[in-house]
Amino acid sequence: MKEKKCNGYESMFTFLSEKDFLKHLETCEECKKEHERMQKISNLIQEAKPYIKQKRKNSQILKAACAIFIICFTTISIPIYTLGTNVYNQVVASIDANSMTVEEMGLPVDEYGFLYIN
């Protein structure tokens, strides 16, 4: 039998005191069912909590691993970048020494003789 006073599970849960709400559950089949459902969900959340925490820990490990990777990568890539710059400077210096133009090096150039990269 449906209780006439019932305004639905959510509003009963919100507006009744815990005592009145539990009392209402005894008389209202619909809310009882809903409450059991909520209880199950709540239990599931309780059960899932350790897993969620574990997941958070894992993501923290992942973040730390990422940070280490980035640190390692920048530490390695900086010398490579410096080396690259040195090579570039040497190439530029050798071009200057031989008074070679970009065109003479056989590289594609635009109408002004500048290096043309498609």
Residues that bind Zn ion (CB under 5 A): 6, 28, 31
Number of neighbouring beta carbons within 10 Å of residue 20: 11
Comparing CB distances to Zn ion, the nearer of 10 and 104 is 10
Torsion of CA 64, 68, 69, 73, to 10 degrees: 150
The β-bridge partners of 115 are: 109
State the angle between helix axes of 18-27 and 29-97 in degrees (0 to 180), rounded to the nearest 10.
120
Report the nearest approach of Zn ion to the CB of residue 31 (Å).
3
Comparing CB distances to Zn ion, the nearer of 2 and 63 is 2
Comparing CB distances to Zn ion, the nearer of 6 and 109 is 6
Q: What is the DSSP letter of 58?
A: H
